Chains A and B, each alone.
Chain A
Amino acid sequence: MASEMQCGVFHETYKSDMQVRPTTMQRARIVLAIVFALALPFILGSVEMRIVNGVVIAAIGAIGLNILTGYTGQISLGQGAFLAVGAYASGLSSVYFGFPWWLSIIFAAFVTAAFGMLIGIPSLRLKGLYLAVATLAAQQIVQWVIINWDPIDGAIDGRTTDALNIPNALLFGNPEWRLNNNEYAFYFLGLAVLALVVIAATNLFRTHIGRAFVAIRDQDIAAQVMGVSLFRYKLLAFALSSFIVGLAGGLMAQYSTAISFERFTIEVSIEYLAMIIIGGLGTIGGSIYGAIFIVLLPELLRLLGRAITGTDTDSIRAFNSLLPFLQQGVFGLAIVLALIFEPEGIQKLWRNIKDYFRLFPFRY
């Protein structure tokens, strides 16, 4: 039906016009991606799966941030704080209330959404840089509370460490499938949540709510003139975004045996911003590509370094002392180069590649 060479929009019915993926190629690619995702655990060992699970959690968090920053244009330097609220809401509710893991993750999402709305209140009057620094304030305050407020961390179990220990979570009550121990069990859970989040987010931007978000990003005063209530939709953007980030935080908590403030610092906020910038602002696919890129980058550098240094112990030691700086420097460089040469990110590169093959042998 759909021709091999697509050279225009030829929708004949409203139904086909409303489809998310109208062409055969697009559907084929999505099937391939699903097959690839399902096949991964059968190919990779548990060490690699741990990194893959990191990617899955990061992708969920990045989609959440992208709804707020990429689609609605509200810059947030407080992603780490939102993740922390999610993770601690999930962890504390399983410790104090004895919630099962699934309930604690849902609880975390709602708590984080409420927190996000609270942080979103100043956004009505603040814009751009002022809002960015206000979210930085949220980041600092949450971090301070975690470090200094005793009931939140080690005081519960009487240990001296500043970490919150989380009880074991079993998938379907099966003792084999411990979420924090069995990478494969967690992978399928994470993948399911990611799939739900992707479907929800993609469809969000086909509704009037999503379009209102984009209108606010492009020109908020014009949006207001057209009848978009800035207060309601900005708060809604904060709530929806933090809901998803809270899911990521909750998953993070249940995946770990212990959580502590080091995993929710300003650097984490910056990493997530880097994901959506490098992946592509205001795209769902871009959030995922960005998450893959940012999580894999330090690992790839490590592997590359190992390959270069070989087995010589002296050079391995020299390399190991240099590695953190190399990782940090390349991370920074990736952000700068992406912004200068491809501000629309990996998503745009990928689209260019697809267009090249789709239109071959013509240029456009």
Chain B
Amino acid sequence: MDADLLLKFIRLTYTGFSEGALLGLIALGLVLVFKSSDVINFAHGEFMLLSAYVVYQVMLWLQGAGVTDLLLPIALLIGVLAMVGLGVLVERLILRPLIGEPVISVIMVTIGLTNILQAIVGAVWGVNPQSLPTAILPIEGRFEIVIEGARRPLFLPYEGIFMVVIVLLLVGLLMLFFRRSKYGIAMRAAADDQQAAMSMGISIKTVFAFAWSLAAIIAGVAGLLIANLTNNVSGDIDNVGLRAFPVIILGGLDSIPGAIIGGFIVGMIESYASGYIDPSLKNVIPYIVLLVILMIKPYGLFGQKRIERV
């Protein structure tokens, strides 16, 4: 009996950890956009959706054209390019005219974008889930955990741990990018003080475009990871995007470590709540925790307090 409970705990922790990594990744994209351009992108989930569909479509075409080698790398490359294009396009066409407008306008414009992208995806690919021609992460197998006294052994698929590894790898790369590369430092400068950055010769427009493309690529990776997890591409991907909002608020809108830590916290809470209390709680428990935390810390756990001057 105790052994069974222990196994359940291990299973829930494992699921929570891998889902948390995913949520952290999604939140990372949102934070990146917010830090550079003060916009919370409600269409982030649709970016994920779109990238998964684009990669899926390219894979289908390549398969139709008889390409078998390098199917995945080519598809991923085109997916990344498409995401960069989307990021730049959205920034240029939709968000730049709204610089300096009130918060609600910026929120609503990304919500409008959400509807447009959903409509496009729905009109082009329909509403039924499409299965991927080949798996994106070719990982088979699972851990087997046996504890004496347990009724049956516990199987944990490798995918979960790989997801955590990929996410941590990406975060490491981003950290390196922000600390070492010229563009990364320019982005940090722009996030810190736009006018000072401009006077140092940094092009804010380039920085914005860069941040949006980067966020779109991160969204694309997240979308593909979800598609890989479920083995098909469907409209459900953008619902996962909605689950990232408690994460960014929890961690603080402008904190990259906050996004990752918040992701793990929310992933764990979701997993434990749905495992121990009620599965239907999964979608609502992050919001309850969020409300409690916001009562104590109005800018999230790691968010920067804004000092206002009248």
On A, residues with C-beta under 8 Å from B are: 69, 73, 75, 122, 125-130, 132-134, 136-137, 140-141, 143-144, 147-148, 219, 221-222, 225, 266, 270, 273-274, 277, 281, 322, 324-326, 328-329, 331-336, 339-340, 343
Contact = CB atoms under 8 A, between A and B. Distances in A.
Contacts of A325: 118-120, 122-123
B98 interface: yes
A130 B294 contact: yes
Nearest to B298: A125
Given A122-B295, A329-B123, A335-B115, A140 B105 contact: no
B172 to A, nearest CB: 28
Interface stretch (B130-138, B160-168, B279-287): B279-287
B120 A329 contact: yes
The A interface is mostly helix, strand or loop, or mixed, namely: helix
B94 interface: yes
Contact of B112 (A125, A126, A333): A333
Given A128-B103, A129-B253, A141 B115 contact: no
Interface of B: 40, 94, 97-98, 101-105, 107-109, 111-120, 122-123, 242, 245-246, 249, 253, 278, 280-281, 283-284, 287-288, 290-291, 294-295, 298-300, 308, 310
B101 A339 contact: yes
Contacts of A222: 310
A147 to B, nearest CB: 7
Contacts of A140: 283-284, 287
B35 to A, nearest CB: 13
26 contacts: A69-B104, A73-B102, A75-B104, A125-B294, A126-B294, A129-B103, A129-B249, A130-B253, A133-B245, A141-B288, A144-B283, A274-B108, A281-B104, A325-B119, A325-B120, A325-B123, A326-B119, A328-B122, A329-B120, A332-B113, A335-B112, A336-B94, A336-B109, A336-B112, A340-B98, A343-B101
B123 A133 contact: no
B119 A130 contact: no
Contacts of A125: 294-295, 298
Given A137-B291, A322-B123, A332-B114, A75 B97 contact: no
Contacts of B308: 221
A340 B249 contact: no
Nearest to B101: A343
Contact of B280 (A69, A144, A324): A144
